[in-house]
Structure 1
Amino acid sequence: MEAKANTLQLKYLNELAKFYAEQRQFEKAYSYNSNFIAQTKSLDSANSQLKISPYEIERNDLQQLDSINVLKQRQAVQAATIKQDNIMLWISLAALLIISVSLSFVYRQYRTNKKTLESLRKTQQQLVLAEKMASLGELTAGIAHEIQNPLNFINNFSEVNKELLTEMDEEIQKGNFEGVKLLAKDVISNQEKINHHGKRADAIVKSMLQHSRKSTGQKELIDVNEMCEEYLRLAYHGLRAKDKSFNAKFETNLDPTAGKVNIIAQDVGRVILNLINNAFYAVNEKKNSNSVSNYEPEVTIGTKKINSDVVITVRDNGTGIKQEVIDKIFQPFFTTKPTGLGTGLGLSLSYDIVKAHGGEIKVESIVGEGTTFTIKLPS
C-alpha cells in the first residue's frame, strides 16, 4: 500500500508540473518538477535499500551458518578427542591390569624358581658331599694299608730295642762297657727307624684329614710329585683291600723339575684320586672280561714341567672309552659304571675344579687300548 501511494504521489506531481508548463507558469512547473525529481530519488533510494537488505540478511545468515558449522566441527573434534581419550584411558587401565597380573605371576614364578634353586643347591651340596665321602671311602682301605706298614716297622723295632736294652742291662752288670756301646748304637739306629716310620704314619694321617676336611678355598704351594705318588699308592691299596684278587702294575713318571704348584690341595687331590680310581677300575674291568690273553693291567701317573705350566697325566691300558661317551664324559650325572658304583659327578666336579684353578683337563682314548687324562695347571 505504501509503494502504491508513493507511485500515485509521483504521478500527481509529474502531471502538475506538465500542467503549469502548458499554462506558461514556469515557476510552479519547476517547483513541482523539482519535487517530483526529489521524491523519485528518495523512492529509488528506498527501493535500493529494500534490495540490499535481503542480500545483507542472506550474507549474515550464511556467516551465522558458517559459524554454526565451525562450532559443530569444533564440537565434533572435541567429542572425538574425548572419545579417543576415553579409549586411551580404558586401554591404559587394561594394560595396567595386564601388567599387574603379569608382574604378580612373574613374582610368584620368581619365588617358586628361587625355592627350586635353593632346593637344587642343597641337593647339589649333598651330592658333592656324597661324592667326596665316596672318594674318602675308597681312600680308607688304602690309608689303613699305608699306615699298617710303618706301624709294623715301629712295633718290630720297638720289640728289638726292648731286647737290646735288656742285653745292655746285663752287660752293664757284667761291667762290659764296650758291649754296651755296641748295643747302644743298635738301639739308636732302631730308634731312628722308628722315628722315620712314625713320621711316615703321621704324614699319611695328615693327608687323610686334609682330604676329608672341608675345603678352605685357600691355595698353597704343594709338591705335585709327592701328591701324585701318594694318591697312586693309596688308590691301589684301597682297591686291593676291596678285591684281594686284583693286581696291577702301577708306575710313576715324575719330572723332578715339576716342583710346587699353587693349588687348593684338597680339591686337586680329589681330582687326581678320581682319575686314578677310574684308571684302576678300567684295567680291572678289562682283566675280568678275559677279552685279552696274557693281559697285564698297568696304570701310570706322570708329571712334566712345560714353560709356566705343570702337566699331570694319568694313563691306563684298560677298556678305553667310545667317542660318543667322551663327548658326554664331563656332564653331571653321566656315568658308564653300573648303578651303585658311581654318582656320575666325579669327572664333572673334576672338570669344574681344574677350570677354577685356571687350568684345563682333556681325555684321549682308544677303545680296547686305553685312556689318558691330561691336566694342565698354571704353576
Structure 2
Amino acid sequence: MDLISKYRSELMGIAIIWVILYHLILTQNSPYSFGFLDSILGNGYGGVDIFLYLSGFGLVRSWNKCLQQNHSHAINLFYKRRILRLAPTYIFICILYSIYQNNWNTLFYSISTIGHWINHNRYDWYVPTILLLYLSFPILYKLIQKYKFRFLIISFIIILLVTISFNYLSITNDLRMLSISRIPIFILGIYHGICPISYFNRSYYFRNTILMFIGLVLLFSLKHSPLRILFCGGLFQLTFLFITPGLCHIISWTLNTIKLPILNSILSLLGILSYELYLIHLKLIENIVKLPFFGEINHWVYFTILIILIITISYMTNKLMHIILNIISKIKFSI
C-alpha cells in the first residue's frame, strides 16, 4: 500500500487520461479509434473508480489529521476542507456552462447538485456523487471501524441487489445508478485506509491480483450477456470493486520499477489537476465533433490542440482557485 500512497498523484493522472479517452472514443459520431486499445479505453469509466478508491483511502489520513489538529471541531474542519476543494471550481465551471448554453435554469440544479438526484438538469453526475460520499465519510468511517470487512460485504450485497433490481425493471438509463454503484469502492478505500500496515502482506497482493482477474471476467461476461444490461444500470461499474485495488498496485509497481522521472512528473501534474481536467474536458470532449472548425482540421491535430487548451485552462483554473481561497483565508484571519 506504500506504493499506492507514493504514486497516488500518478495513479490519478492515469485515471483522468483513461476517462478523457473513454469520452473521446464513445462520443456520438466519433472518428477516433486507438485500434486494439479501444476495448480497454471503452471501460474508461473505471478511472472514476480509481479516483473514488484513492479518495476513500486518502480521506482517512485527512480525517486523522483533523482529529489531531482540533479534535472537538474535527468534523467542521474536515467538511470545510472538502467543500473548499470541490465547490469553487465546480461553481465556476457551472456558471461558464450556463453562459455558454444561455440557460440559467440549469445553474441552480447543477450547483445545488439537486438536479442529479431528481434526474433533472445537471452538469454531470460525478460531483454530486463525491459530495454526498464526502459528507457521509465520518459516518462510514465509524461503521467501518466498528464492523470492519463485514460492513463492506453488507454494503456490496445491498448495492448489488439494488442494481440488479434496476436492470430487472429496465430502469437502466439512469445516471443516479452510476452514483449508487460507486458506494462500495469508496467504502473499500476507507477500509484499506483504516487497516494496519501488517494487513498489506504478500497474501493481500496475491488476493487482489486474483480478484482483479475475477472482476475482469465478470465485466467481460456482463458486456457480452444476452440479458438487457445497459451501462447506466450500474453492474459494469460494480465489477471495478474487484478490479481497482489490484490494478492500482500493478500500475504503482510498474511506475516504481521503470522509474521514468519525466513520465512520473507529467502523470503527477495531471493527477494534481485531475478534478479541473474532469470538469473542463467533459462537455468539450463529449461534443468534440460539434465544436467550431471540427472537420476543417485533421481530427488528431484538432484533438491535440483541444487537449493542450484543456490542460492550460485546468492549470489556470487551479491556480485561480488557490489565489481566491488564499485571499478569503487572509480576510477571515484579519477579521
Higher-Rg structure is 1
Task: Report TM bin, short chain.
Answer: under 0.3
When normalised by structure 1's length, the TM-score is 0.20
When normalised by structure 2's length, the TM-score is 0.21
RCO comparison, higher one (Cα < 8 Å, 6+): 2
Structure that is richer in helix per residue: 2
Structure that is richer in strand per residue: 1
